[in-house]
Chains A and B, each alone.
Chain A
Amino acid sequence: MDLAVFLLAAAIAYAVPIVYAGLGGQISLTAGDLNIALEGEMLAGAFVAVLVTYILGSPWLGIAVAILVGGVLGLLFGVMIVTLKGDVFLVGITYNFLLGALTVLLLSIIFGVRGSFSSPQLTGIPIMPIGPLAHVPLLGPVLSGQTYVAWLVVPMVFAWGYVLRSTPLGLRLRALGDNADAVRSAGLDVARMRLGVQMICGMLCGLAGAQLALGTLTLFSSGMSAGRGFVALAIVILVGQRPWMLVLAALLFGIADGIGIKLQQADVPAQIPQMLPYVVTLLALCAVSARRWRAARRDKTSA
C-alpha cells in the first residue's frame, strides 16, 4: 500500500461519518439553527445501530433503527428549542452530556459491560463491490473497501444540493434561515418546518453514528464519536450552504489527520503533529473568510 492510498483511504474513513453529521448540521444551519448536539446524536446513533444489529443480526435493520431513533432524538431536540423556546446552545450542550451518559448507562444495563462492546455476532455494513474499477491504480484500492453507506454519501449530497438550490423547499429553508418573519408572513408554519429540519438532522446523525460503529469499525465504545460532531459543526460553519464543499472540507480534514499521523514518525512530541488537522482547518477558515470579506468590501465600495 503506498502513501497516497493510505492517506485517501484514511481521509474517506474519517470523512464519511463527518459528512453525514455535517449534512444534518448544514440543513439545520440553513434553516437558522446552529445544532451543537451533532456529537451526542451521532453517539446515540452508533449505540442504537450496534444494539439492534447485535440483537436482530442485520446491519440494515441496525441502520434503519439508528435513523429512526436519531429522528426521534432530533425531534425531541426540536421540541425543546422550537416549541419550548430553549436556547439552542444550552439545550445542545446539555443534550451532548445527556446522550454521552445515557449510552454508557444503557451499555452497562443491556450488555453488562462498561467501556466498549464488540462481538463476533456483530456484522458490519457490507462492502460495495465496484467491479473492474478495483483494478484502477490508486482509486481502485481506495474505493474497493467502502461500504454501501459510504457510497450513499454521493447521491445524498447530490440530492441535498439539488433540493437546496432548485426546489421551492430549498428556497423556503434558506428563507427560514435568513428571515423567519418573512416566511411566517408568507403563511408557512415556521415552527413545524424547524421541527422537521431537526428531525432530519437527527436522522442524518443517526446514520453518521451507524456508519462510524458498523462501517468504519464494528463495535461500540463509550464516547466513540470523540469530537467528530464538533469537527462536523466547524466544517459546516466554514463552508456555509455548499454541500460539496462540505465533502471537500471533511476530506481535507481527514488527509491532514493522516499526514499528522505520518509526521509522528519524525520522533517529535506527538502533540505537535496531532494539531495539524485543526491548524489546517483554522487556516482554511481564515483564507475563506478573508476572501469573502474582501469580496464583500469590493461590492460595498463599487456599489
Chain B
Amino acid sequence: MQFDAMAPVPVARRHVLVTFAMEAVTTFAIIAFLGAVAVAVMGADPLAAAAAALRQTLAGQYEVAGLIALSLPLMIVGFAAAASFKGGFYNLGLEGQLILGAAIGSIVGAHVGPFWSPLHIAMVLVAGGIAGGIVAWALSWLRVRFGVDEVVSTLLSNYIVILFAIYLATYPFRDPTRFNGAMHRIAPSARMSTLVEGTELTWGLAIVVAIAAVLYWLLHRSKLGEDWTLMGRSPSVARNCGIDARRFGMLIMTSSGFLAGLAGAFMVSATQHRYFANLGLGLGFDGILIAMIARYRILAVSFWALAYSWMLLAADGIEQEIGIPSEFAQVVIAIVILGVAVRAGLVSWIVAQVRHLSKPAAPLPATPPAPPPAEES
C-alpha cells in the first residue's frame, strides 16, 4: 500500500525523510481532494480556489515566512502535547498552561529589565515555561500522591488558570491605555528580532529548531526516550524495569507543562508583545490535535504544525478570493483531520472488505479483523 505510510506496524525502518515525504503527499492529496469537492459543492471553481490557496501561502518569501511564523507556537505546544501523551499522561490542561505562560512571560518582559536582549528573551521564555510547569507539576503531584485523575484535573484547571490570567491582565497588570484587559507591552529587549522584514517571522525560528532538535534527541534517540515510551505503554512494566514511575510521571507532566508555558511566552516575545484576554484560546486543543496526528513524533509534529497552519491560511485565502464562508473552510479542515485520523483504519478496512469479497467461501466476520493496535497511541 503506497499511501499507508502511517500504518501502525512499519515492516522495515524507513528513512525519516522518506516517511515525511510520503506523509506530505498523502496529506496534501486528502486536503486537495476534499477541498476541491467542497469548493465544487459550493458552486465555485476548485482550480481558482487551489490557485488562491497557493498564492496566499507559498507564492513568495513573504507568504512562506508568514506561514512558518504562524506554525512556530503550534509546534511548541504540539511538542508539549506529544511529551505528555507519549509518556501516557493525558494533559488536557495545555491551553491553561500556555495562557498562564503567556501572562507570566508578559509580566517578566514588561516589568523586569530591560536587560541584554538574549538574556531578557530567555528570561521571558523560562518564566512562562516555569509558570506552565508549576501548574502541570501540581496536578501531577495530585495524581501520584492521591491518584487524582489527570484528565479531569487538567481539564478543570484550564478554566481556573485562564480566569486567573485574565484577572491579572484586567486588574493588577493592566495597561491603562487598553480597554480589553491587556497587559503592558514588553520592553524592546524582550522582543525577538525579525528574521524576514515585513513578516512576523523572527529569530524565534532558531529557538524552535533547537527545541525540536533537543527533544528529538531526548525522546527518540536516548535512554530517557526509551523509558518515556515505556511509561506511555505500561507504567507497571516501567516500574519492573527499575523506573521510579511516580517521579518519572511527574517529570513527564512537568516538562509538558513547561513546554506549553514556553509556547505561550514565545507568542508574547515573538509576535504579540503582550498578553491580553483571549490570547491563545484554542491553541491547547490545536496542539493536542497536531501531536496526535503526528503520533507523538517530534519531527512529525513540526510537519503537522506547518500543515495545519497551511490549511488555516489557505482557507483564509480561499475565503478572501473566492468568497466562500469561513465556517465552510473550518468544516472542511475538520473533515480532513478526521480523514487523516482514520486513514490507517480506513485502509485496512478496505483491504479487509476486498479480501473478503475475493474469498467468498470464507465465513463472513461481522466486522473486519482487528488490525494490530496503534503502536504509540
Contacts and interface: CB of A to CB of B under 8 A. Distances in A.
Instruction: Tell whether any CB of A sits under 8 Å from a CB of B in the complex.
Output: yes
Interface string B245-280: 000000000000000000000000000000000000
Given A93-B285, A101-B330, A105-B327, 12 more contacts: A83-B345, A83-B367, A84-B345, A97-B334, A234-B156, A237-B149, A278-B156, A278-B160, A285-B152, A285-B153, A285-B156, A292-B147
Q: Which 8 A-B pairs have the closest CB atoms?
A: A85-B345, A98-B334, A84-B345, A101-B330, A84-B342, A271-B167, A105-B327, A86-B342
Contacts of A191: 366-367
Contacts of A108: 325, 327
B305 interface: no
Given A89-B292, A289-B147, A275 B367 contact: no
Contacts of A238: 149, 152
Contact of A91 (B90, B164, B338): B338
Interface of A: 34, 80, 83-87, 89-91, 93-95, 97-98, 100-102, 104-105, 108, 189, 191-192, 227, 230, 233-234, 237-238, 269, 271-272, 274-275, 278-279, 281-282, 285-286, 289-290, 292-293, 296
Given A91-B338, A191-B367, A289 B148 contact: yes
| Interface-central residue, A95, A102, A271, A282, by most chain B CB under 10 Å | A271
A85 B341 CA distance: 9
A204 to B, nearest CB: 20
Contact of A192 (B330, B338, B341, B367): B367
Contacts of B338: 80, 86, 91, 94-95, 98
Contacts of A98: 331, 334-335, 338
Contacts of B306: none
B100 interface: no
Interface in B313-350: 325, 327-328, 330-331, 333-335, 337-338, 341-342, 344-346, 348-349
Interface in B274-323: 285, 288-289, 292-293
Contacts of A230: 155
A274 B163 contact: yes
B131 to A, nearest CB: 17
B371 interface: yes
- Chain A residues touching B, majority SS: helix
A210 B276 CA distance: 35
Contacts of A189: 366-367
Interface in B138-182: 142, 146-149, 151-153, 155-157, 159-160, 163-164, 166-167, 170-171
A238 B346 CA distance: 34
Contact of A97 (B142, B151, B330, B370): B330
A85 B331 contact: no
B349 A84 contact: yes
Interface of B: 90, 142, 146-149, 151-153, 155-157, 159-160, 163-164, 166-167, 170-171, 285, 288-289, 292-293, 325, 327-328, 330-331, 333-335, 337-338, 341-342, 344-346, 348-349, 366-368, 370-371, 374, 377
A90 B151 contact: no
Contacts of B334: 94-95, 97-98, 101
B341 A80 contact: yes
A230 B367 CA distance: 31
Nearest to A240: B149
| Interface-central residue, A101, A104, A189, A230, by most chain B CB under 10 Å | A101
A9 to B, nearest CB: 23
A87 B288 CA distance: 12
Contacts of B367: 83, 189, 191-192
A87 B292 contact: yes
12 contacts: A85-B370, A89-B90, A90-B292, A95-B338, A189-B366, A192-B367, A234-B152, A281-B156, A285-B149, A286-B146, A290-B147, A290-B148
